Structure 1
């Protein structure tokens, strides 16, 4: 009988514990306070480029046209300008860009343009020969048009240049 009484008491304590656990706590009152959350968005831009590949050819007897794009992302409303430098080979200028082979013993003339008609050379003087825009807060794709004009063909080799694209804002 004692065992039954001990079991009954133990069960009663367990049930009382469960019932007590489900009773919500009652609070006497509450107080509130506010705080500010801020973020300062500054004028900013980033630029990403893609390679321009004129492919493979033999004699340079006619124009070779190709295009690529670059992406500019600027804060909404931020005016920007994109400049392209002359490239890395010695003697290369914005007006007359050059591709050079590894030993710099040969060059191929080419240029980069702002328009598909290839009439506006893309350079690095803001307000003169750069491409301008206004940021939208998302990436804006800008086409770069390239042309290797007909010219005397140099020795067979791979010709290249590294052009730096700069966004100013």
Structure 2
């Protein structure tokens, strides 16, 4: 017996014949391929104890002073003048303090707070240590920088401040200054 396929049905028969390796619509084949993720972490610091930089470290206050016969000391704390930061672990970090707004050049003789009403000044100094022997500066202004290794956790660096003695007492009033903190990493 011989089968004869009419000419019009030959094309349909060829279309219905499965070819080798073609997808049958059944999930009988699968392939897997991995992809790679990467990130490069660079040294960085956030000023303050949160996840975003702070706009101020607060105010270190000497309180009320009635005499300058002896030095008046103050120590910062978090929120009142201490430098608080969180940096990449192991990052070499340098903390530098500027001159303040009322001294140019060397701070070795002291920085100056000013009474804006009278333009009189009050001499003070900032130190890295409780003994008040290491003047904190920027390395070229008469004081030294503080070099540290970051831990990755929030770190607080206290400022040990001193109002210097004066032979003549300036006028009563409010005296202030602003000192720029520079963090290099």
Residues of 2 paired with 1:131 and 1:47: CA distance? Answer: 16
- Map of 1:161 onto structure 2: 177
Where do 1:9-48 residues align within 5 Å?
A: 27-48=27-48
The match for 1:135 is 150
Aligned to 2:94: 81
- Spell out the pairing of 1:104-119 with structure 2 (5 A cutoff): 105-119=119-133
- 2:124·2:163 contact (CA, 8 Å) conserved in 1? yes
Q: TM-score, normalised by structure 2?
A: 0.70
Are residues 92 and 150 of structure 1, via their aligned partners in 2, closer, same or farther at CA, if it must alter by over 3 Å?
Answer: farther
> Which protein is richer in helix relative to its size?
1
Once the two structures are TM-superposed, the CA of residue 27 in structure 1 deviates from its matched residue by 4.8
Partner residue of 1:53 out of 23, 38, 61: 61
Q: Which TM-score applies when normalising by structure 1?
A: 0.76
Higher relative contact order (CA 8 A, sep 6+): 1
User: How large is the RMSD of aligned CA atoms in angstroms?
Assistant: 2.1
> 1:139: Cα distance to partner?
1.8
Aligned to 1:64: 72
Give 5+ residue unaligned stretches, structure 1.
1-25
Query: Structure 1 residues 125 and 91 mapped into 2: Cα distance closer, same or farther (>3 Å)?
Result: closer
Please name the residue that 1:17 is paired with. Answer: none
**CA apart distance, 1:33:** 2.0
